Amino acid sequence: MQRLVRYLPAPASPAWVAAETLGAAIAALVGLLFVARIIGPQAAGIGAIAASVFLTVDLPISAMFGDSLLQRRGLEDRHCSSAFWTTMGASALGILLLWFGAPFIAAATGAPVTGMIRALALLLPFSATAGMLSSLVLRQRRYRLLALRVLLCQPIAVGAGVLAALAGAGPWALAAQQAAATLSVFVLVALRSGWRPRWTLQRRALAELWPVAGPQILAMVVYNGRYRVFIIGLGMLVAEAVVAITHIAFRLLEVALAVVTGAASRLAMPRLAALQQDRAALAAAYGDLAQLQALIGLPMAAGLAITAPWLIELLMGGPWLGATEPARLVALAAIPGFLIGPAPALWLAIGRTRMNLLMQLIAFVLPLLGLVLLRPQDAGGAALCWAIGSLAVPPVQLVVTLRVLQRSVFWLGRHLLAPLLGTLVMAVLTTWVARALAGQPAPLALLGTALVGAVTYVLVVLPVLGFRWPRALQEA
């Protein structure tokens, strides 16, 4: 066993970031999609509504002070302990909010979700603890422990969801999967993080964290809640089956986003925070991270758009083919966001978290306005509403980011040359191959198209990078 450990990357190696994000993508596909296929569209739609309500409350609480603890120079234990007990208080309020609000959500959506939302609410303290401990681990760049949350805990969660689905649990299978994920991650980080809270709750410590934490909490609420609220709003307009198809289409994109934003944020947050006083080094690091984000995100979004019909047919089967065009539209709309770099991490690093809040408010409001004005009746219309927000933010984000970095768009373009060129050539060839394989069985067509795309992308990108790893993945 010790000999095997010697061959593994070091605990702080960026290789663990790649392992974590790849594992998260696979777990997301296998978990939600397989469970949804077993329980069917209607049950999956009910489960998606309940999970969306829970995560709308859970995610901002679990990340309440995490980013401010990561960003703060001279962090002390009084900051950590005060943040922990405040987060526990917020978890208790969250339980009450979900417990008493569940019947109103059920009445508004017409879905029987009261019991499921109340059961999920009891997970809030465990999720909040795991979220804060994970931020402290990330500050120390212990990427291996962060990766184990996915590599160990996600298989447990997927197994719990699949077993519950096969046992006839219906929408409760998604709740079982969420519970297994939350509790297993809590146990792992609680045992391995090496930090324990003291009985300290200082108003001064919270005041020192709040200038960064306050706007960032609101930004997290908006960012993590915008899709959940969108799904809840959609559930008020259409049947559960349409909600489920929309949810599956968006989840295919979310897998791609999780890989990209997961890898970029894990590397960007501690790295940019450490360079916040050196603007030249900060800009150089940002350029490298923007390149990494585009290298992963551009081919993944383009590939999803091209192969969506076969991917959905293979993973989900005939009843879910209505998710094809929505998935394609949302994937294409996500491409501009992969071209601007990890801007949220930059605003956090320099303490301007209000900018994150502003950007997320734009992305939050526009899709909801689309729902109100367009009143979509199918998954395609819902995807169009969502794309409005995805397309509106990147241009604004690009202008203000380059202004802060005091760099030009040509400077960013030089960093993005390899992924842009590779994705363009890949998209042309794979589109031609996809048309040639249109009449073939889904597994053969998907494999052939993906293989051509992957080989083409690598052959184009490697020479442009000088046959070296991207700078953002090189050991510090």
Q: In angstroms, rounded to a whole number, what is the distance separating the alpha carbons of residues 222 and 366?
A: 12
Q: In angstroms, rounded to a whole number, what is the distance separating the alpha carbons of residues 184 and 191?
A: 11
CB contact at 8 A, 134 and 146: yes
Q: Which amino acid is located at 15 in the chain?
A: A
Q: In angstroms, rounded to a whole number, what is the distance separating the alpha carbons of residues 287 and 281?
A: 10
Find the Cα–Cα–Cα–Cα dihedral 362, 364, 368, 370, rounded to 10°: 40
Find the Cα–Cα–Cα–Cα dihedral 76, 77, 79, 84, rounded to 10°: 150
Write down the pLDDT at residue 4. 46
Write down the pLDDT at residue 139. 85
Q: In angstroms, rounded to a whole number, what is the distance separating the alpha carbons of residues 362 and 358?
A: 6
Q: In angstroms, rounded to a whole number, what is the distance separating the alpha carbons of residues 269 and 138?
A: 8
User: Which tokens sit at 338?
Assistant: 């992969």
Tens of pLDDT, residue by residue, the chain (476 residues): 445 455 567 776 666 776 776 676 666 666 666 787 788 878 887 888 888 889 888 988 887 887 788 877 778 899 999 999 999 999 999 999 999 999 998 888 788 889 999 999 999 999 999 989 998 888 887 888 888 888 888 889 888 988 999 998 888 998 999 999 999 999 999 999 888 998 888 889 888 888 877 777 777 677 766 776 787 777 777 776 677 777 767 766 666 666 677 667 777 878 888 888 888 999 999 999 999 899 988 998 899 889 888 877 776 666 667 777 888 888 888 899 899 988 988 988 887 878 888 888 888 889 888 888 888 878 778 888 888 888 899 999 999 999 999 999 999 999 999 999 999 999 999 999 999 988 888 888 888 999 999 999 999 999 999 988 888 877 54
Cα angle vertex 233, ends 229, 237, to 5°?
165
Write down the pLDDT at residue 257. 65
User: Which tokens sit at 179?
Assistant: 């519970």
Q: Phi and psi (nearest 5°) for 428?
A: -65, -50
User: Which tokens sit at 158?
Assistant: 């997927």
Write down the pLDDT at residue 255. 62
Locate the domains of the chain by residue range.
8-194+203-236, 242-476
From the list 285, 286, 346, 335, the residue with the least C-alpha distance to 306 is 335
Three-state SS annotation for 405-455? HCCCHHHHHHHHHHHHHHHHHHHHHHHHHHHHCCCCCHHHHHHHHHHHHHH
From the list 404, 422, 399, 393, the residue with the least C-alpha distance to 348 is 404
- 3-class secondary structure, 317: coil
Write down the pLDDT at residue 228. 67
Q: In angstroms, rounded to a whole number, what is the distance separating the alpha carbons of residues 118 and 316?
A: 29
Write down the pLDDT at residue 2. 46
Q: Phi and psi (nearest 5°) for 54?
A: -60, -50
CB contact at 8 A, 371 and 233: yes
Write down the pLDDT at residue 45. 79
**61 burial level (CB within 10 Å; 0-12, 13-18, 19+):** buried
From the list 106, 99, 369, 384, the residue with the least C-alpha distance to 249 is 384
User: Which tokens sit at 86?
Assistant: 């405040």
Write down the pLDDT at residue 186. 95
User: Which tokens sit at 349?
Assistant: 């690093």
Q: In angstroms, rounded to a whole number, what is the distance separating the alpha carbons of residues 54 and 153?
A: 20
CB contact at 8 A, 130 and 62: yes
Using CA atoms, how far residue 79 sits from 2, 129, 353, in Å, is 37, 15, 19
Using CA atoms, how far residue 422 sits from 257, 338, 412, 460, 472, in Å, is 19, 14, 16, 5, 18
Cα angle vertex 340, ends 338, 346, to 5°?
115
Buried b (16+ CB within 10 A) or exposed e, 414-442: ebbebbbebbebbbebbeebbeebeeeeb
- 3-class secondary structure, 445: helix
Q: At what angle do helices 41-62 and 124-139 cross, to 10 degrees?
A: 60
Buried b (16+ CB within 10 A) or exposed e, 201-215: beeebbebbeebbeb
